Amino acid sequence: MNNLQEIDILIVITTIIVLILCFTVVIFFLYFQKKKIAFILSERETKQRFEEEITKSKLEIQEQALQNISWEIHDNVGQLLSVAKMQLNMVQYTLPEDQQVSIQETGDIIGKSLQELRGLAKSLNPETIKNNGLVDSLELEIQRFNRLKVIDASLNIINDSFNLSNEKEIILFRILQEFCNNSLKYSKADNLIINLTFNNNSLDILAQDNGIGFDVNDVENHTGIGLLNMKSRGKLIGADIQLESTIDKGTKLYISCLK
């Protein structure tokens, strides 16, 4: 009888020890699993922050380069054209009347070129976007497209507009500028529409053209690369960006950005 009791006690003790060991193993496993998951998440966050910093640095370099180009256009090229126009005006009245008409036409062309260059300089300069805001900057860009007479462009504002941070407005403007430039260069579109819908806490943007479209999965083409650039920019301000395109039916760009 005593032997049976001792065996029962031994079995109970052994069972308890095994359970404790199992429990300890499970606790250690969960602990190390938690540590592993935390390490992986930390690595991802570090990589994401690194990529964001790289993207931000690239954008800052690009914006500085665009600003320098804007200054060069405005201060150097613009001034040279202004001087050329003044000299033509001076020469014009020293020529016979039948030649003055040709000089006047040439002067008008230089004047229009000067106007377009100044408009381009403004669209490249981030300070202009900061000062004018997103809506006014886009309106100037739409007016510039329409003056080129290669596409019919329009901007629609839905609900009362509000200002976003300078960073958000510059990035959104650059994204839309890239979409518009792609439409002008590659889409063969004759119509371009940008809709800005101002909601209580967000800004929803739809930009679309009626061009030839393209394969959005083909990241090797110019538009595909442009899409990657757009999404990289959008990540910096937490904007959701979607691009849809149908062959022979045009392209649509959707942007949603929190206020």
Looking at the structure, do residues 118 and 173 belong to the same domain, yes or no?
Answer: no
Residues 6+ apart with CB under 8 A from 160: 198
Q: Is residue 159 part of a domain?
A: yes
The answer to whether residue 1 scores a pLDDT higher than 60 is no
Q: Which residues pair with 207 in a beta bridge?
A: 194, 253
Looking at the structure, do residues 143 and 258 belong to the same domain, yes or no?
Answer: yes
The backbone torsions φ and ψ at residue 154, rounded to the nearest 5 degrees and listed phi first, read -145, 150
Q: Which domain holds residue 257?
A: 138-259
Q: Is residue 145 part of a domain?
A: yes
The model's pLDDT over 20-77, given as tens digits with 9 standing for 90+, comes to: 888 888 888 888 888 778 777 777 777 666 566 666 666 666 676 667 777 777 667 7
Looking at the structure, do residues 118 and 220 belong to the same domain, yes or no?
Answer: no
pTM for this model (two decimals): 0.69
The model's pLDDT over 120-170, given as tens digits with 9 standing for 90+, comes to: 777 778 888 888 899 999 998 898 889 888 889 999 999 998 989 888 999
Q: Is the Cβ–Cβ distance between 66 and 124 less than 8 Å?
A: yes
Looking at the structure, do residues 156 and 113 belong to the same domain, yes or no?
Answer: no
Beta strand segments in 26-170, E: 152-158
Q: Is residue 103 part of a domain?
A: yes
The answer to whether residue 113 scores a pLDDT higher than 90 is no
Looking at the structure, do residues 258 and 220 belong to the same domain, yes or no?
Answer: yes
Per DSSP, the residues of 144-190 read HHHHHTSSEEEEEEES------HHHHHHHHHHHHHHHHHIIIII--S
**Residue for token pair 């079995």:** 11
Report pLDDT for 158. Answer: 94
Give the separation between CA 138 and CA 158, rounded to whole angstroms.
14
Q: Is residue 185 part of a domain?
A: yes
**CATH number for position 163:** 3.30.565.10
Q: Is the Cβ–Cβ distance between 245 and 171 less than 8 Å?
A: no
What is the domain count for the chain?
A: 2
Looking at the structure, do residues 150 and 250 belong to the same domain, yes or no?
Answer: yes
Residue that is last in its domain, among 91, 124, 157:
124
For residue 257, give both structure tokens: 């950005």
Report pLDDT for 221. Answer: 54
The backbone torsions φ and ψ at residue 196, rounded to the nearest 5 degrees and listed phi first, read -110, 115
Q: Is residue 31 part of a domain?
A: no
Residue that is last in its domain, among 94, 124, 154:
124
Residue that is last in its domain, among 67, 95, 124:
124
Looking at the structure, do residues 248 and 154 belong to the same domain, yes or no?
Answer: yes
The model's pLDDT over 180-237, given as tens digits with 9 standing for 90+, comes to: 988 888 888 999 999 999 999 999 999 999 988 887 776 555 555 567 778 888 888 8
Looking at the structure, do residues 164 and 100 belong to the same domain, yes or no?
Answer: no
Looking at the structure, do residues 175 and 210 belong to the same domain, yes or no?
Answer: yes
Compute CA 106 distance to the chain's CA centroid, rounded to the nearest angstrom: 38
Looking at the structure, do residues 101 and 212 belong to the same domain, yes or no?
Answer: no
Measured CA to CA in angstroms, residue 162 lies from 26, 200, 209 at distances of 55, 10, 26
Report pLDDT for 87. Answer: 77
- Looking at the chain, the whole-number percentage of residues with pLDDT higher than 70 is 84
Q: Is residue 252 part of a domain?
A: yes
Span of 50-59, 83-92, 100-109 with lowest mean pLDDT:
50-59
Looking at the structure, do residues 113 and 176 belong to the same domain, yes or no?
Answer: no
